[in-house]
């Protein structure tokens, strides 16, 4: 597994339905990190995420 491998991450807010498509990479715990913090509706939890290698 390459540390610099990038992932395409699709995040959809379960409150307002807004969709974000971001690039991410694996952190030291094996999770994909994008830096995404909150939706435009101020939601900070409850997201549906899908990630796939680029």
Provide the number of structural domains found in the chain: 1
- 1 in any annotated domain: no
List the pLDDT tens digit at each of the 54 positions of the chain. 555 789 999 999 999 999 999 999 999 999 999 999 999 999 999 999 999 999
What are the φ and ψ backbone dihedral angles of 15, each rounded to 5 degrees? -90, -55
Owning domain of residue 32: 6-53
- For residue 50, the model assigns a pLDDT of 96
Taking the model in full, what pTM does it have? 0.83
| List of E strands, 1-54 | 6-13, 19-26, 32-33, 47-53
Write out the two tokens for 31.
């999770």
Report d(CA 4, CA 19) in Å as an integer.
25
- 44 in any annotated domain: yes
Residues 6+ apart with CB under 8 A from 26: 1, 3, 5, 7, 32, 33
- For residue 47, the model assigns a pLDDT of 96
């Amino acid at each position: 597994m390459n540390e610099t491998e990038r992932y395409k991450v699709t995040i959809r807010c379960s409150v307002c339905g807004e969709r974000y498509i971001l690039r991410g990479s694996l952190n030291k715990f094996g999770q994909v990190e994008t830096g995404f913090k909150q939706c435009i509706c101020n939601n900070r939890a409850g997201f549906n995420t899908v990630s796939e290698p680029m």
